[in-house]
Amino acid sequence: MIDWERMIVSTLYLGGCNFRCPFCYNTDLVKNAMNLPAITEEKVFSFLIKRKSFLDGICLSGGEPTIHNGIIEFLTKIKSEGLKGKLDTNGSSPEILAEIIENNLIDFVAMDIKNCLKEEPYFKTIGVYCQGIVAKVKKSIALIMDSGIDYEFRTTIVPGFHDLEMIEDIAGNIKGAQRYILQNFIQSEEMLDPNLKFIKPFSHYKMTEILKKAELYVKECRIR
Protein backbone atom coordinates (compact mmCIF):
# COMPACT_ATOMS: atom_id res chain seq x y z
CA MET A 1 0.00 0.00 0.00
CA ILE A 2 3.11 2.23 -0.05
CA ASP A 3 4.75 1.62 -3.42
CA TRP A 4 1.60 2.28 -5.47
CA GLU A 5 -0.95 4.67 -4.03
CA ARG A 6 -4.49 3.30 -3.55
CA MET A 7 -3.32 -0.15 -4.65
CA ILE A 8 -2.47 -3.31 -2.74
CA VAL A 9 0.59 -4.77 -4.43
CA SER A 10 3.42 -7.18 -3.90
CA THR A 11 6.76 -5.44 -4.47
CA LEU A 12 9.42 -7.46 -6.27
CA TYR A 13 13.00 -6.24 -6.03
CA LEU A 14 15.36 -7.29 -8.83
CA GLY A 15 19.06 -7.34 -8.07
CA GLY A 16 21.63 -5.44 -10.12
CA CYS A 17 21.82 -1.86 -11.32
CA ASN A 18 23.73 0.07 -13.98
CA PHE A 19 23.97 3.13 -11.69
CA ARG A 20 25.93 3.66 -8.49
CA CYS A 21 24.10 6.58 -6.92
CA PRO A 22 26.13 7.50 -3.80
CA PHE A 23 22.98 8.01 -1.69
CA CYS A 24 21.37 4.68 -2.66
CA TYR A 25 20.63 2.53 0.38
CA ASN A 26 19.79 -0.70 -1.51
CA THR A 27 23.49 -1.55 -1.34
CA ASP A 28 23.16 -5.34 -1.51
CA LEU A 29 20.80 -5.18 -4.48
CA VAL A 30 23.21 -2.93 -6.36
CA LYS A 31 26.63 -4.38 -5.46
CA ASN A 32 26.00 -7.85 -4.06
CA ALA A 33 23.05 -9.17 -6.06
CA MET A 34 24.78 -12.39 -7.18
CA ASN A 35 25.35 -13.43 -3.55
CA LEU A 36 21.81 -12.87 -2.36
CA PRO A 37 19.41 -15.83 -2.02
CA ALA A 38 17.73 -16.59 -5.34
CA ILE A 39 13.95 -16.80 -5.57
CA THR A 40 12.67 -18.84 -8.50
CA GLU A 41 10.04 -17.52 -10.87
CA GLU A 42 7.86 -20.49 -9.96
CA LYS A 43 7.95 -19.50 -6.29
CA VAL A 44 7.13 -15.88 -7.13
CA PHE A 45 4.07 -16.85 -9.18
CA SER A 46 2.94 -19.39 -6.59
CA PHE A 47 3.03 -16.59 -4.00
CA LEU A 48 1.12 -14.17 -6.24
CA ILE A 49 -1.52 -16.61 -7.43
CA LYS A 50 -2.40 -17.63 -3.86
CA ARG A 51 -3.03 -13.96 -3.05
CA LYS A 52 -4.88 -12.90 -6.20
CA SER A 53 -8.12 -12.52 -4.28
CA PHE A 54 -6.83 -9.37 -2.56
CA LEU A 55 -3.78 -8.27 -4.59
CA ASP A 56 -4.29 -5.57 -7.23
CA GLY A 57 -0.93 -6.25 -8.83
CA ILE A 58 2.83 -6.00 -8.49
CA CYS A 59 5.44 -3.29 -8.29
CA LEU A 60 8.62 -4.24 -10.12
CA SER A 61 11.55 -2.41 -8.56
CA GLY A 62 15.25 -2.82 -7.94
CA GLY A 63 18.06 -2.22 -8.61
CA GLU A 64 17.06 -1.46 -12.17
CA PRO A 65 14.52 -3.89 -13.66
CA THR A 66 15.13 -2.98 -17.32
CA ILE A 67 18.69 -4.40 -17.34
CA HIS A 68 17.26 -7.93 -17.14
CA ASN A 69 16.71 -9.79 -20.42
CA GLY A 70 13.58 -11.59 -19.24
CA ILE A 71 11.60 -8.57 -18.13
CA ILE A 72 9.23 -8.60 -21.15
CA GLU A 73 8.35 -12.26 -20.68
CA PHE A 74 7.95 -11.80 -16.93
CA LEU A 75 5.58 -8.84 -17.26
CA THR A 76 3.62 -10.74 -19.92
CA LYS A 77 3.05 -13.57 -17.42
CA ILE A 78 1.98 -11.08 -14.77
CA LYS A 79 -0.62 -9.68 -17.18
CA SER A 80 -1.83 -13.16 -18.09
CA GLU A 81 -2.68 -13.71 -14.41
CA GLY A 82 -4.92 -10.64 -14.48
CA LEU A 83 -2.63 -8.58 -12.25
CA LYS A 84 -1.76 -4.93 -12.83
CA GLY A 85 1.87 -3.87 -13.05
CA LYS A 86 3.90 -0.89 -11.89
CA LEU A 87 7.49 -0.36 -13.02
CA ASP A 88 10.14 1.61 -11.13
CA THR A 89 12.96 2.65 -13.48
CA ASN A 90 15.85 5.05 -13.88
CA GLY A 91 15.00 5.61 -17.55
CA SER A 92 18.33 4.36 -18.87
CA SER A 93 16.81 1.83 -21.31
CA PRO A 94 14.25 3.67 -23.46
CA GLU A 95 14.16 0.86 -26.03
CA ILE A 96 13.04 -1.67 -23.38
CA LEU A 97 10.63 0.85 -21.90
CA ALA A 98 9.13 1.46 -25.34
CA GLU A 99 8.53 -2.29 -25.86
CA ILE A 100 6.89 -2.59 -22.43
CA ILE A 101 4.58 0.35 -23.12
CA GLU A 102 3.73 -0.70 -26.69
CA ASN A 103 2.68 -4.14 -25.46
CA ASN A 104 0.54 -2.72 -22.64
CA LEU A 105 2.51 -4.63 -20.03
CA ILE A 106 2.33 -2.02 -17.27
CA ASP A 107 -0.35 0.25 -15.85
CA PHE A 108 1.90 2.69 -14.00
CA VAL A 109 5.52 3.77 -14.35
CA ALA A 110 7.58 5.73 -11.83
CA MET A 111 10.79 7.12 -13.28
CA ASP A 112 13.61 8.62 -11.27
CA ILE A 113 15.19 11.69 -12.84
CA LYS A 114 18.46 11.82 -10.97
CA ASN A 115 19.46 15.42 -11.68
CA CYS A 116 19.25 18.28 -14.16
CA LEU A 117 19.64 17.04 -17.71
CA LYS A 118 23.28 17.97 -18.19
CA GLU A 119 26.02 15.35 -18.34
CA GLU A 120 28.38 16.47 -15.57
CA PRO A 121 25.82 16.68 -12.73
CA TYR A 122 24.10 13.52 -14.01
CA PHE A 123 27.35 11.53 -13.95
CA LYS A 124 28.09 12.78 -10.43
CA THR A 125 24.63 11.80 -9.19
CA ILE A 126 24.54 8.32 -10.74
CA GLY A 127 28.10 7.57 -9.66
CA VAL A 128 29.29 6.30 -13.06
CA TYR A 129 30.28 7.67 -16.45
CA CYS A 130 27.51 6.53 -18.75
CA GLN A 131 27.90 7.91 -22.26
CA GLY A 132 24.67 9.18 -23.80
CA ILE A 133 22.68 8.79 -20.58
CA VAL A 134 21.10 12.25 -20.73
CA ALA A 135 19.76 11.60 -24.24
CA LYS A 136 18.38 8.24 -23.08
CA VAL A 137 16.71 9.81 -20.07
CA LYS A 138 15.13 12.50 -22.25
CA LYS A 139 13.83 9.81 -24.62
CA SER A 140 12.33 7.86 -21.70
CA ILE A 141 10.66 11.02 -20.40
CA ALA A 142 9.05 11.63 -23.80
CA LEU A 143 7.92 7.99 -24.07
CA ILE A 144 6.26 8.09 -20.67
CA MET A 145 4.56 11.44 -21.19
CA ASP A 146 3.15 10.26 -24.54
CA SER A 147 2.21 6.77 -23.31
CA GLY A 148 -1.32 7.39 -22.06
CA ILE A 149 -0.66 5.34 -18.91
CA ASP A 150 -0.50 6.61 -15.35
CA TYR A 151 2.96 7.82 -14.30
CA GLU A 152 5.07 9.98 -12.06
CA PHE A 153 8.56 11.39 -12.20
CA ARG A 154 10.55 11.70 -9.01
CA THR A 155 13.85 13.07 -7.76
CA THR A 156 15.65 12.36 -4.50
CA ILE A 157 17.09 15.71 -3.43
CA VAL A 158 20.48 15.58 -1.74
CA PRO A 159 22.52 18.55 -0.42
CA GLY A 160 25.76 18.78 -2.40
CA PHE A 161 24.15 17.14 -5.44
CA HIS A 162 21.08 19.32 -5.99
CA ASP A 163 20.08 22.93 -5.66
CA LEU A 164 17.05 25.03 -6.55
CA GLU A 165 18.23 25.75 -10.10
CA MET A 166 18.84 22.05 -10.83
CA ILE A 167 15.34 21.08 -9.75
CA GLU A 168 13.88 23.91 -11.81
CA ASP A 169 15.80 22.56 -14.82
CA ILE A 170 14.27 19.10 -14.28
CA ALA A 171 10.78 20.55 -13.86
CA GLY A 172 11.22 22.61 -17.03
CA ASN A 173 12.17 19.47 -18.96
CA ILE A 174 8.98 17.71 -17.83
CA LYS A 175 6.72 20.74 -18.18
CA GLY A 176 3.08 19.67 -18.31
CA ALA A 177 3.82 16.25 -16.77
CA GLN A 178 1.15 14.42 -14.81
CA ARG A 179 3.01 14.32 -11.48
CA TYR A 180 6.43 15.20 -10.04
CA ILE A 181 7.50 13.82 -6.65
CA LEU A 182 10.30 15.42 -4.62
CA GLN A 183 11.86 12.98 -2.18
CA ASN A 184 13.98 14.43 0.60
CA PHE A 185 17.26 12.67 1.23
CA ILE A 186 17.23 10.24 4.17
CA GLN A 187 20.44 9.49 6.05
CA SER A 188 21.28 5.79 6.28
CA GLU A 189 24.17 3.61 7.36
CA GLU A 190 23.56 1.47 4.27
CA MET A 191 24.31 4.08 1.59
CA LEU A 192 26.84 3.33 -1.13
CA ASP A 193 28.87 6.35 0.00
CA PRO A 194 29.04 6.05 3.81
CA ASN A 195 30.33 9.61 4.10
CA LEU A 196 26.86 10.89 3.18
CA LYS A 197 25.56 9.77 6.57
CA PHE A 198 27.03 13.01 7.90
CA ILE A 199 25.05 15.14 5.42
CA LYS A 200 21.90 16.72 6.82
CA PRO A 201 18.78 16.63 4.61
CA PHE A 202 17.29 19.89 3.40
CA SER A 203 14.97 21.58 5.88
CA HIS A 204 11.21 21.54 5.42
CA TYR A 205 11.41 25.25 4.54
CA LYS A 206 13.97 24.57 1.78
CA MET A 207 11.98 21.63 0.41
CA THR A 208 8.87 23.81 0.30
CA GLU A 209 10.82 26.49 -1.59
CA ILE A 210 11.94 23.88 -4.12
CA LEU A 211 8.39 22.54 -4.39
CA LYS A 212 6.99 25.98 -5.22
CA LYS A 213 9.55 26.39 -7.99
CA ALA A 214 8.68 22.98 -9.50
CA GLU A 215 4.97 23.81 -9.36
CA LEU A 216 5.55 26.53 -11.96
CA TYR A 217 6.03 23.73 -14.52
CA VAL A 218 4.17 20.69 -13.17
CA LYS A 219 0.71 21.15 -11.68
CA GLU A 220 0.81 18.20 -9.29
CA CYS A 221 4.01 18.29 -7.28
CA ARG A 222 4.45 16.66 -3.90
CA ILE A 223 7.08 16.15 -1.23
CA ARG A 224 7.25 12.50 -0.24
Q: Is residue 59 part of a domain?
A: yes
- In-domain check, residue 1: no
Q: 2 or 43: whose pLDDT is higher? A: 43
- What is the total count of domains within the chain? 1
CATH for 57? 3.20.20.70
| Residue 4 located in a structural domain | no
Residue 3 lies in a domain: no
Report the pLDDT value the prediction gives residue 91, as an integer from 0 to 100.
Answer: 98
What pLDDT, on a 0 to 100 scale, did the predictor assign at position 126?
Answer: 98
pTM: 0.95
Q: In this predicted model, what pLDDT tens digit does every residue of 1-15 receive, in sequence order?
A: 889 999 999 999 999
pLDDT score at 99: 98
Terminal Cα-to-Cα distance of the chain (whole angstroms): 14
pLDDT at site 20: 96
- Let me know if residue 65 belongs to a domain: yes
Examine residue 2 and state whether it is found in any structural domain, yes or no: no
Range(s) of the domain holding residue 188: 9-223
Decide if 167 is inside a domain: yes
The CA distance from 83 to 78, in Å, is: 6
Cβ atoms of 130 and 92 within 8 Å: the answer is yes
Distance CA 112, CA 97 (A): 13
Closest CA to 189 of 31, 62, 24, 34: 24
Residue 194 included in any domain? yes
In the Cβ-directed half-sphere of 34, how many Cα atoms lie within 13 Å? 1
